[in-house]
Amino acid sequence: MKIGFHNEIENKTVDIEGAVGVKIRWLIGHSDKNAPFHMRYFEVEPLGNTPLHTHNGEHEVYILEGNGVLNNGEKTFPLKSGSFVLVEKGEKHQFKNLSDKEYLKFLCIIPVESSR
């Protein structure tokens, strides 16, 4: 069993091309050998965004705080606290913070085999 608190986990800058003002905390990750999937905590600064990209693994996302959109490359869909998303393999996705004041915060859970 592992019990922790999100703010105790290192907050790393996401330096993937296209990421603007994005930080990640690996709440449950590679050091947790018996974890069947990994839980990451994201913060996107005001008007920031994750990259518009695709990959060979699913995302399950839950929005904790803020106001933003999910961009699938063609349309945008509103997101707020309590929204959830299943992004399937290969689907284009980008999370954008629409607020110029507040952070957009969300959990993103991914399969171990596509985790890096």
Is 98 a residue that touches its own copies (CB under 8 A)? no
Is 26 a residue that touches its own copies (CB under 8 A)? no
Q: Which of residues 49-78 bind its own copies (CB under 8 A)?
A: 58, 60, 62, 64, 70, 72, 77
Is 31 a residue that touches its own copies (CB under 8 A)? no
How many C-beta neighbours within 10 Å does residue 106 have? 24
Burial of 16 (0-12, 13-18, 19+ CB in 10 A): exposed
CA angle, corner 7, sides to 24 and 88, nearest 5? 35
Cβ(94)–Cβ(70) under 8 Å? yes
At 6, phi and psi to the nearest 5? Answer: -55, -40
Q: Count of residues binding its own copies (CB under 8 A)? A: 37
Which CB atom, from 15 or from 24, has the smaller least distance to its own copies? 24
Is 1 a residue that touches its own copies (CB under 8 A)? yes
How many C-beta neighbours within 10 Å does residue 65 have? 14
Among 20, 45, 91, 115, binds its own copies (CB under 8 A): 91
List residues near its own copies by CB under 8 A. Answer: 1-7, 27-28, 32, 34-37, 39, 58, 60, 62, 64, 70, 72, 77, 79-80, 82-89, 91, 93, 107, 109, 111
